[in-house]
Amino acid sequence: MTSELAACRRVVVKIGSSLLTNEGQGLDRGAIADWARQIAGLRARGLEVLVVSSGAIAEGLKRLGWTKRPSAVNELQAAAAVGQMGLVQMWESCFAEQGLHTAQVLLTHEDLGDRRRYLNARTTLKTLVALGVVPVINENDTVVVDEIRFGDNDTLGSLVTNLIEGDAFVILTDQKALYTADPRRDAAATPVSRAEAGDPALEAMAGGAGSAIGSGGMLTKVLAAKRAGRSGAHTAIAWGREPEVLTRLFAGEAIGTLLVASTQPVAARKQWLADFLKPAGQLTLDAGAVKALTADGKSLLAIGVAAVAGEFERGEVVGVLSPEGREIARGLANYDSAETAKLLGRPSSEIESILGYVAEPELIHRDNLVVL
């Protein structure tokens, strides 16, 4: 772990609800103050640090006297609104003790799915960091609905890491590391100290949600590491109450699990296509088209598409599926769903005779397509 994290200069630290609220008992000021002190130490060494903080809903449950996380969206929104007040106050007071200013940034998937708002968010975060401010970022649970929610702050943290082109993404959790199986159910489970982000074997190891307080689990962390790896960021998963965990990680000490980004970073615009947009529809390919996209780096032609699903307009993002139904790519459609359906399996030379015009010879140009 020494070389990768010790060389990092811009990092995102995500802290889970169960840690922040001591398993739902209320915000743990001592722990939050300790993380703020460690972050201040990292900043003194020249690191730029952004915090993705869970805990608003959990703190809201505590303040409202609710013992169980509700499933109704309106109740979750209410809990978030109540809890966010205390959460932000706590972070601000703890960082103020270290002589640091903070800024609250609330995001939804819709914010980052719109190209202009995505660029605005990136500019704002980079400006805050340049000013010496520590951004404290959370999903905007007070207004979020299922269609636009990130779903968990592991996902949000990885998206922020890509957004600001971070070098590392640290997930502080209530587990010591990623294990080969759930250690609470399998005594033979052993910790994984180091692996490659995006290795399919990691997803097989990870299970469901980790606690009744948070919405994430080890699987979301593995998938978040895979996503962060697309921008070249390494991901560390560690127990948040490990003494001096952040200080030691960025001094190069091996703690928890390091998931290394071993592939070349994907260009920022293609990261946006892959991670910040939700597909409006899906195209299922034949085997030849899969090879053309994944192995040969070609554009997607209508002749290689077997089926179309969903309703989408020209310029919207669509998911590209293998014959088995696995999403292998995403891209911007050159034709809407109705037009695409008419072109299935047909060569590009027939587009004009079928539609009466030619927008582009490809359904998706390779410049507007990212392989996942």
What gap in Å lies between CA 17 and CA 54, rounded to an integer?
A: 5
pLDDT by 10s per residue, the chain, length 372? 456 899 899 999 999 888 998 776 789 999 999 999 999 999 999 999 999 998 888 889 989 999 888 888 889 889 989 999 999 999 999 999 999 999 999 998 778 877 778 888 988 999 999 999 999 999 887 776 665 567 678 989 998 998 898 999 999 998 899 888 877 778 888 999 999 998 888 887 775 444 433 344 788 899 999 989 888 899 999 999 999 999 999 999 999 999 999 766 767 667 777 777 789 999 999 999 999 999 998 999 999 999 999 999 988 899 999 999 999 999 989 999 999 999 999 999 999 999 999 988 999 998 889 888
Strands 234-239 and 10-15: unpaired
Class of domain 2-270: alpha beta
Domain ranges in the chain?
2-270, 279-371
Total-model pTM: 0.78
- Which CATH code for domain 279-371? 2.30.130.10
Sequence-distant (≥ 6) Cβ neighbours of residue 228 within 8 angstroms: 157, 158, 161, 162, 166, 169, 197, 234, 235, 261
pLDDT (0 to 100) of residue 212: 39
Distances (CA, A) of 257 to 79, 151, 249: 32, 23, 11
Is the CB of residue 257 less than 8 Å from the CB of residue 192? Answer: yes
Specify the amino acid at residue 220: T
